A and B are shown apart, each in its own frame.
Chain A
Amino acid sequence: MSKLLTRRGLLKTGAIGSAGLAMPTIFTSAAHAFTNAPTGGSVTLGFNVPQSGPYADEGADELRAFQLAVEHLNGDGDGGMLQTFSSKVLEGNGILGKKVEYVTGDTQTKSDAARASAKSMIEKDGAIMISGGSSSGVAVAVQGLCQEAGVIFMSGLTHSNDTTGKDKKANGFRHFFNAYMSGAALAPVLAKNYGTDRKAYHLTADYTWGWTQEESIKAATEALGWTTVNTVRTPLAATDFSSYITPILQTDADVLILNHYGGNMVNSLTQAVQFGLRDKVVNGKQFEIVVPLYSRLMARGAGENVKGIYGSTNWHWSLQDEGTKAFVKSFGTKYGFPPSQAAHTCYVQTLLYADAVARAKSFNPCDVGAALEGYEFDGLGNGKTLYRAADHQCFKDVLVVRGKENPQSEFDLLEVVEVTPVDQVTYAPDHPMFAGGSLGACNPGA
């Protein structure tokens, strides 16, 4: 009959004199050491992915990966990347012997809705870690919530510099790469293939991610000798980019860089090709189009138009390392098609969280965070990877890809043209593009 009444902040205990509540003895005030400390034989993880809105398919793929990860953590299935993971503390008996359970929510790709569903998972379902998401706005918003709530946030697909830059949080961790890394990896390949004397024209989605992507790729290409003719912001809601594309014809630009994602990218690329940009010859050079961040799932919407277009990606199923092969096999066998980069990062994040708990031997977010900070691992598909302590960003090789000319199947859209080594994409934690925020102190909640 103890612990019937507990008082805590949404996520953290307020120091309250409970004298005001002169209640019978069934009420006791028992503070946990941290938010949603698992009691009993199970632990609950919260997977917050877009289930409606334009990124719903990516969200669905993330959810598949999460389910697979939970299966593997609980010792079902073939174990996937657990076999190739450099850390061997996970034994397929859940996390610290507690069976892994999960709850899901719909972010709707809106920061409000995402926070609401994350809150419900924390408040109602007792989730101790939140993961998932397919856009940076949502990632930053949910990361802020998790910081205040005192749970760990293992972000899904988020590519903006801000997530581990000015909006970084002690309780938040990002495995996915970022805009700076895309620029740093892509620029040398572009220079190699298209020369160092190029004039670039940028179309940029007019919101935070678009801006950091533009800033990054612009800096990286200019460092190699390219000039930037113009950078033009396009409304997020735009579906017809013709009025942004035709002005390019008037300039002497010979490269178009589309800092667009998802539907924006599909439409702007399709339409740019329709306008014959790729058939143009400017300054005696073939006109080229570049898409700095590829999403294979969504790029299918652009059909043939992606052929030969360079971009970058966090991971691709066609990689030949053991980790990737194990994951693709396990995922492909279960669902019948290869996983997307979003699925991969979500799967890996779940494993990394579980592993950190197991190594720390504690679910306390501060202990988990400490175990993740500065942790170096391998065997999860990206080669040797470091979770940097200073900003909770993973540092690993980045893939430069190109739209494949002769795809063998509907999944075979991209080919990896270069694996840019991690050193080339590493930056100082106080790099100007990432400056302005601080991790703060880790918050265990209650």
Chain B
Amino acid sequence: MLGLGKKDFILLGIVAALVLLAPFILNPFPADSALAQFNAGYPDLMQRFMIFGIFAVGFNILFGLTGYLSFGHAAFLGVGSYSAVWMFKLLSMNVIPAIILSVVVAGLFALLIGFISLRRSGIYFSILTLAFAQMSFNLAYSVLTPLTNGETGLQLTLEDPRILGVSQTAAGGIPVTNLFGMEMRETTTLTLGGWAFQFNNGYYLCGALLLLAFYISIRIFRSPFGLMLRAVKSNQTRLNYTGLNTKPYTLAAFVISGMYAGLAGGLLASMDPLAGAERMQWTASGEVVLMTILGGAGTLIGPVLGAGFIKYFENIFSKINDNVLHSWFHILPDSIENAVIWVVEHFVGSGWHLTLGLLFMLVVTFLPGGLVQGGQKIGRLFRRRDAAAKATQSTPAE
């Protein structure tokens, strides 16, 4: 189906189902319950899951397959965002031209940086990419302010000369991003009992593009090109003496993953038309590295899981404050309540980084293959139990 093997098709199907049903799956708790804090089913975060999923899937094509560890991929996400916002400012609020431009610009930028950086390998390559990205960030933050609006980030204004469209709406506001008239921010809320499920246009656009990105990534993994990339990681000498030039392969992988990053950047801007320079900072590049390794580098679904994991912590755990803790633990006696809260508050709210750091260490120590390996372990456990159950059932029959 779709040119995929059975297993891959099932995987794609599962991801598609998850994307489609995410508004339900991510909102397991009634809106008024104490645990609603853990609900992640609101448009902004769901969009981010998809967008950073795309970013990580693309990064994995480079890192997971070829083993080249880029520490500057955020630069491509950044230029993608800037391109998209400029497109909104100058051309039209339709997201299609913006997204196309961001992918193209990011691809060209990746071609340039990749061409230079790929002259080196290993950590030398990593540092070259890091240096380019940090240069982009520092310049965008200061000298390039006319182009990037510096610290504040590039935003839409009421005076934008939009060629295909209006500078401001009849009501005097800034027009909103749309897909042929379908507004990205439009949300339909379905209230069922205590639950409120939100279905957002922008989210479904991101979801559709994630599926497309994921599908292309599967095709690349299963293609001769993908095999060559894995061969690059395994043994470049043999590849060279087998009549193959590694450079265009790695460069192509670099540019493809740069275009994925550009797509992610363009989508970020399409969901929320602002592009901040810190999107290009090394910490942002480091984040996608962490997402990929955490989820499982070189696996298909790993990067998506890693992206979801980190974004969940950033957005959910950081919002748990004292107030919330007290509402959770108020049934406990005061002294115990305070003790429990004293312990827990280290890990939530402003301590969310601590939790994230600990989880990095735990995952990488105990699950060398990332979250995917964790999933496989659990899967194997079930299968073994299944098998055991079957064995006991079948014994009497013999």
A–B in direct contact per CB < 8 Å: yes
Q: Which residues of A contact B (CB under 8 A)?
A: 3-12, 14, 16, 21, 26-27, 51-52, 56, 59-60, 63, 67, 102-106, 110-113, 115-117, 119-121, 123-124, 135-137, 140-141, 144-145, 147-148, 162, 167, 206-209, 233, 235-237, 437-438, 440-441, 443
Q: Which 6 A-B pairs have the closest CB atoms?
A: A441-B172, A10-B185, A51-B350, A137-B151, A124-B42, A119-B44
Interface centre among A26, A67, A208 (most CB of B within 10 A): A208
In the bound complex, residues from chain B placing their C-beta under 8 Å from that of A60 are 350
Cβ of A438 and Cβ of B155 under 8 Å apart? no
CB distance from B351 to the nearest CB of A (A): 9
In the bound complex, residues from chain A placing their C-beta under 8 Å from that of B174 are 147-148, 440
Tell which of B115-123, B186-194, B247-255, B296-304 binds the partner: B186-194
In the bound complex, residues from chain B placing their C-beta under 8 Å from that of A21 are 188
In the bound complex, residues from chain A placing their C-beta under 8 Å from that of B80 are none
Cβ of B272 and Cβ of A115 under 8 Å apart? yes
CB distance from A237 to the nearest CB of B (A): 7
Between A and B, 12 residue pairs with Cβ closer than 8 Å are A10-B186, A14-B185, A21-B188, A67-B323, A104-B321, A106-B349, A120-B42, A123-B42, A124-B42, A137-B153, A236-B151, A440-B168
CA distance A7 to B143 in the complex (A): 43
In the bound complex, residues from chain A placing their C-beta under 8 Å from that of B349 are 51, 104, 106
Q: Which residue of A lies closest to B168 (CB)?
A: A440
Choose one: A6, A117, A207; the contact of B315 (CB below 8 Å).
Answer: A117
Cβ of B200 and Cβ of A10 under 8 Å apart? yes
Cβ of B323 and Cβ of A102 under 8 Å apart? yes
CA distance A443 to B350 in the complex (A): 32
Is B274 on the interface with A (CB-CB < 8 A)?
yes
* A9 in contact with B318 given A123-B44, A437-B157, A440-B168 (CB within 8 Å): no
CA distance A148 to B186 in the complex (A): 12
Cβ of B152 and Cβ of A120 under 8 Å apart? no
Choose one: B186, B187, B190, B318; the contact of A4 (CB below 8 Å).
Answer: B190
Cβ of B45 and Cβ of A120 under 8 Å apart? yes
Q: Which residue of A lies closest to B43 (CB)?
A: A123
In the bound complex, residues from chain B placing their C-beta under 8 Å from that of A9 are 176, 183, 185-187
CA distance A375 to B44 in the complex (A): 35
Interface centre among B171, B183, B198, B319 (most CB of A within 10 A): B319
Count of inter-chain pairs, beta carbons less than 8 A: 172
Choose one: B150, B171, B192, B274; the contact of A208 (CB below 8 Å).
Answer: B150
Is B141 on the interface with A (CB-CB < 8 A)?
yes
CA distance A140 to B183 in the complex (A): 24
Choose one: A14, A117, A441; the contact of B171 (CB below 8 Å).
Answer: A441
* A123 in contact with B198 given A141-B153, A208-B145 (CB within 8 Å): yes
Cβ of A141 and Cβ of B155 under 8 Å apart? yes
In the bound complex, residues from chain B placing their C-beta under 8 Å from that of A26 are 192
* A5 in contact with B315 given A124-B39, A148-B173 (CB within 8 Å): no
CB distance from A275 to the nearest CB of B (A): 24
Cβ of B152 and Cβ of A136 under 8 Å apart? yes
Cβ of B185 and Cβ of A116 under 8 Å apart? no
Q: Is the interface of A mostly helix, strand, loop or mixed?
A: mixed
CA distance A112 to B153 in the complex (A): 9
Interface string of B345-373 (1 = CB under 8 A from A): 00001101100000000000000000000
CB distance from A35 to the nearest CB of B (A): 11
* A120 in contact with B315 given A9-B186, A136-B152, A141-B274 (CB within 8 Å): yes
CA distance A233 to B150 in the complex (A): 14
Cβ of A111 and Cβ of B152 under 8 Å apart? yes
* A106 in contact with B350 given A7-B187, A144-B155, A206-B142 (CB within 8 Å): yes
CB distance from B136 to the nearest CB of A (A): 14
CA distance A60 to B168 in the complex (A): 38
Q: Which residue of B lies closest to A443 (CB)?
A: B173
CA distance A124 to B202 in the complex (A): 16
CA distance A8 to B155 in the complex (A): 23
Cβ of A12 and Cβ of B185 under 8 Å apart? yes
Q: Which residues of B contact A (CB under 8 A)?
A: 39, 42-45, 48, 138, 141-143, 145, 149-153, 155-158, 168, 171-174, 176, 183, 185-192, 198, 200, 202, 268, 272, 274, 276, 278-279, 314-315, 318-319, 321, 323, 349-350, 352-353
Cβ of A51 and Cβ of B192 under 8 Å apart? no
CB distance from B148 to the nearest CB of A (A): 11
CB distance from A148 to the nearest CB of B (A): 7
CA distance A5 to B23 in the complex (A): 14
* A167 in contact with B152 given A7-B186, A8-B186 (CB within 8 Å): yes
* A111 in contact with B176 given A14-B183, A123-B44 (CB within 8 Å): no
* A56 in contact with B350 given A6-B191, A123-B198 (CB within 8 Å): yes
Q: Which residue of A lies closest to B178 (CB)?
A: A14
CA distance A139 to B192 in the complex (A): 36
Cβ of B272 and Cβ of A145 under 8 Å apart? yes
Cβ of B323 and Cβ of A441 under 8 Å apart? no
Cβ of A144 and Cβ of B274 under 8 Å apart? yes
Task: Taking A5-B189, A111-B153 as given, write out 10 further A-B residue pairs in contact, using a Cβ cutoff of 8 Å, ordered by the A residue number.
Answer: A119-B43, A137-B150, A141-B276, A144-B155, A145-B272, A147-B174, A148-B174, A207-B142, A208-B151, A438-B158
CB distance from A329 to the nearest CB of B (A): 22
CA distance A5 to B198 in the complex (A): 10
In the bound complex, residues from chain A placing their C-beta under 8 Å from that of B190 are 4-5, 27
Cβ of B191 and Cβ of A4 under 8 Å apart? yes
CB distance from A174 to the nearest CB of B (A): 15
Interface centre among B151, B157, B274, B350 (most CB of A within 10 A): B151
Q: Which residue of A lies closest to B319 (CB)?
A: A105
CA distance A207 to B145 in the complex (A): 8
In the bound complex, residues from chain A placing their C-beta under 8 Å from that of B168 are 440
Q: Which residue of B lies closest to A139 (CB)?
A: B152
CB distance from A180 to the nearest CB of B (A): 17
CB distance from B387 to the nearest CB of A (A): 43
In the bound complex, residues from chain A placing their C-beta under 8 Å from that of B272 are 115, 119, 145
CA distance A19 to B42 in the complex (A): 24
In the bound complex, residues from chain A placing their C-beta under 8 Å from that of B185 are 9-12, 14, 148
In the bound complex, residues from chain B placing their C-beta under 8 Å from that of A206 are 141-143
Cβ of A110 and Cβ of B274 under 8 Å apart? no
In the bound complex, residues from chain A placing their C-beta under 8 Å from that of B141 are 206-207, 236
Interface centre among A51, A135, A437 (most CB of B within 10 A): A51
